Structure formats: structure tokens, C-alpha cells
Amino acid sequence: MRLVIVSNRVTIPERSEKAAAGGLAVALREALEKQGGLWFGWSGNVREATSAPNVVERGNVTYAVTDLTEAERQSYYLGFSNRALWPLMHYRLGLTEFSRTDYAGYLAVNRRFAKALIGLLRPDDIIWIHDYHLIPLAAELRRRGVGNRIGYFHHIPWPPAEVFGALPFASTLASTVAAYDLVGLQTQTDVTNLMGCLVAMCGASINGSRLRVGRRQTQVQAFPIGIDVEAFRKLAAASVRSATTPLKATRQSLGERKLVVGVDRLDYSKGIVQRLEAFGQFLRSHPDQRGRVGLLQIAPPSRSDVPEYAELDRQSDEVAGRLNAALGEFDWTPIRVVKKAYSRNALAGFYRRAQVGLVTPMRDGMNLVAKEYVAAQDPADPGVLVLSRFAGAAHQMGEALIVNPFDTHEVAEAIRTALAMPKSERVRRFEKLYDTIAATDIGWWTRSYLAVLSGAAPLEPEIVPGPDKSVKLPQGRSGSRKPPQKPRSAGGVPARKLGPVGLRGSAPAGPQPRS
């Protein structure tokens, strides 16, 4: 039985490259190496025309990557994935922009990925698809006769039906989830929200962790993702002896001052601007702390082609500059915003040095920075984690100081509480947090998900409602049905009898399958 992983981006490692400790990519690579497998996705390259996937063998893992055209990158990636789905999934309706052209491009790339992947599949493959770029991929595979077990993991939040329903064609996109045998999400809240969407939009029925759309049954379950705790702990412990430039410079510049650290991609979901304002509020409310503590915010840019991210870049610079001008001294800069990426070794050292880890996203699927911060701490003298209640990690990490990131005064007081917390209390909280993240590390996450997916009873590979190529709005009626299609083979996967699946309830039926 071979594992096939599909993700938006895939990087083919060089033959001499050794995987860095930790990280989702490393965990997935290790899972593939254990039993042999295939990793398929976008190469990250843009070409004038696309061709067959580039297939490369690296030990026990086969990497198959395909390029995108510039038009596909604009519509599938920058457009629908990052200007429609990303803000919507993070509850940011005001930033959601929908374009029919982008939606059509999103569906077209998923169809092309499905067509390319089929030629690489074997009859006993287990397929594991990752994240919001590829929601309809299983439906496209099913429409082409693939009967293998297919799982999906949604790494970001899933909003309630009232939010998700604002997306045009929401019911059609949601219905494609029924093509999966197992859907994994970060928290039980996300599970509840997804099930609610399928009930409201697709007439699904629910029985425990399983839901049924037509004759298709899908299991939906929370699998909170973790990190490689032991590897990150060792990195942080080694950083104490490190003489690398970033860490050495940090020690020299801070002296005996305390450090509050934040590490995030430059993304509006991370609440970076609000975090800077909260730290400024902390210094205004507690003037005795001026000159005694500083904030280091590491924020490497991302998706610079999207206008909202360029605006966030400008805002973060403006807020940091204003607060430093108002609160700084000639020998002390309260806030340092560094917009560059650092190695995991350097990040582990920053975490270890910081008395407070400030992890305050406005909304996040999990947030692994929170877990990395805890793993990096000195057990004898740990720092304190301040964590947003809207991060998925808050469901597991209740011993952190849980805050509302929209309330700058509350965050400011949490910083003060963390800095003043007695060592005995810090140790108590740390030990409970560490036990939690160690018990649910990245290895546990991978094994747990794959055990459920591989152990799932085989389901009939019926054709499920698939996205409409013509991108027409549903008309509020069931629509015409095509007769059952003849069995066909696809990429070595045995074809079985296929038939259309109807949707129950009053929601409009999704577009019907076609050859």
C-alpha cells in the first residue's frame, strides 16, 4: 500500500539535502519514506505552457511536480485561493474578493491536477490531499473513476455556514467535500462548522463523526497538528551555546533587558498591527517597564503580489515607527520589526531567550509558533506563552495566558502578568503545556490521521457532485440528471460502476457529472 500526498507546493530536495528538523513538509516526507510514496503538486514555477509532470526519484519517495501558466497562477493561486478562500476561511468577509474568472481558473487547475495525477496512481494507493487550494480535487478524481481511499486535511479554519455561505457557489464547492472518505480539521469547532455547512447547503445527514450526502458517506474528525517537539527542544538547548550572528547580536543588544517575541508571516490573519499597538499600550500603562523590555517581531513578507499584503507591510512599518518615536529613548528602541526569514536554529534561540511568547492571531487554524515557543523553553526557568483565544492551539494549550487579540488593553495586561509571573507558576504552566505538545506531536498527528484513513471501510466510488466547468449560478432546482456512465479505467485504478449522486434537502443540486 503506497501513500500519495498532494499539496499545492512541492519542493524536490537535492540529493545531498538533509531535511531540517520539524515542519509539516518534513513530517510528510518521513511518512512517505517509511512506506514508499508519491508527492504531487505545483513546482512553484511559472511557464508559458504546461506539460506532463516532472517525475524525480529520491530514495523511497517519488516527486511529481507540474508548472502553472501565469494565467493559472493569477486565477487559481493569487485569485481564488488567496483573495477569496483565504480571507473567507479566516472570517474576514470585508477582504474577500470574488471573481468568476478566478473561480473558473481554480476549478480548471484542480481538473488538470486530477488528470495528471491519475496517470501516476496505483490500485492500492491511499491519497492524502492537503489544504484549501485543492478542496475539489477528490471530486475531480471520483468523476474520472478513481475508487481509492482519499483523505483531505484542512490546515486553516473552517467558518460557520453564515460566513462560508457568503461565497458565491458555496454550496457547489462544499458539496465536493463529500468525495473524501476522511476530512481532517484542526479543532472540533472547525468540524462543527464544516458539518453545519454541509447540512445547510447540501442537505447532509449526520451520524456521529460521519455525514452523508446522497449515497456518499464521509468521516469528519479533528486532528490537531503538532511539531517535532524533541527535535525543536534540542535546537533550542543548543542555541544557548550558539555563536551565530543573529543570536549573538540579540544577546549583546538586549543585555539584561527582557524580551517579548512574535514570529509570523506578514499576514493580516496574524494580528501583527494589533500586537504592536498592544505592546505600545503595555508601555503606556506601565511606564516603569520602559527601557526594561523590548518586543522583537519577526515577520517575513508573503504574497507580496496581493494588494492587502502590501498595505499590511506599510501599516506595520507606520505603527512601529510611531510607537518607537513616542516611547523610545536614545539608548533603547521598544519595538523591532524584522521582515526577513530566519533559520529554525535562529528562531529556536530567539524563543529560548524570550521571557514572553506573544502569539495573538486574529484567527488561525492551529499556529505552530505557540508550540515551538513552549518546546524551546528552559524547563528550569521557562518563559510564558500569551495566546489568542482564536488560534486553534488555544483548544489544547489552556495553561497559556489566553487573550482576545482584538482587545489591546487585555493583551497589554497579559504581557504585564507574564513578565511578573513567579518562577513556580511559570514552571507549572510550562510542564503541563510541554506534556500536551509532546503527546500530540507531528508524528502522532501523521500516524493518527493515516490510521483512520487507511482503516476506513471502502466506500462505493460513486460520482459526487462536481464543480461546474461553466461556472453558472445554481438555479434553485434539482436540474437534469445524466444516466449512469459506463465504467472506465483511470491510471491503473480499477473502474467500478459509477452513478450520479443527488443532494437531499432543499438546497440546489450541484452540477451533474459529465464525461
Which among 125, 154, 155, 228 is annotated as catalytic?
A: 155
Cell numbers describing residue 92: 474576514
SS3 423: helix
- Alpha carbon dihedral 328, 331, 332, 333, in 10-degree steps, equals 70
- Alpha carbon dihedral 177, 182, 184, 190, in 10-degree steps, equals 50
Which among 67, 228, 364, 468 is annotated as catalytic?
A: 364
Closest CA to 262 of 247, 248, 254, 274: 274
Alpha carbon distance 58, 62 (integer Å): 6
DSSP state of 300: -
- Alpha carbon dihedral 208, 212, 218, 223, in 10-degree steps, equals -40
Residues linked to residue 296 through DSSP beta bridges, in sequence order: 261, 336
Cell numbers describing residue 508: 440546489
Alpha carbon distance 305, 410 (integer Å): 34
| CB-count burial class (<10 Å; 0-12, 13-18, 19+) for 245 | exposed
3-state secondary structure 63-105: EEEEEECHHHHHHHHHHHHHHHHHHHHCCCHHHCCCCHHHHHH
Relative to beta strand 210-213, strand 293-298 is unpaired
364 is catalytic: yes
Alpha carbon distance 37, 7 (integer Å): 14
Looking up cell 493569477, which residue turns up? 74
Measured at the CA of 161, the angle between CA 155 and CA 162, to 5 degrees, comes to 120
155 is catalytic: yes
Residue 474: Cβ within 10 Å count: 17
Amino acid at 281: Q
Catalytic machinery residues: 155, 364
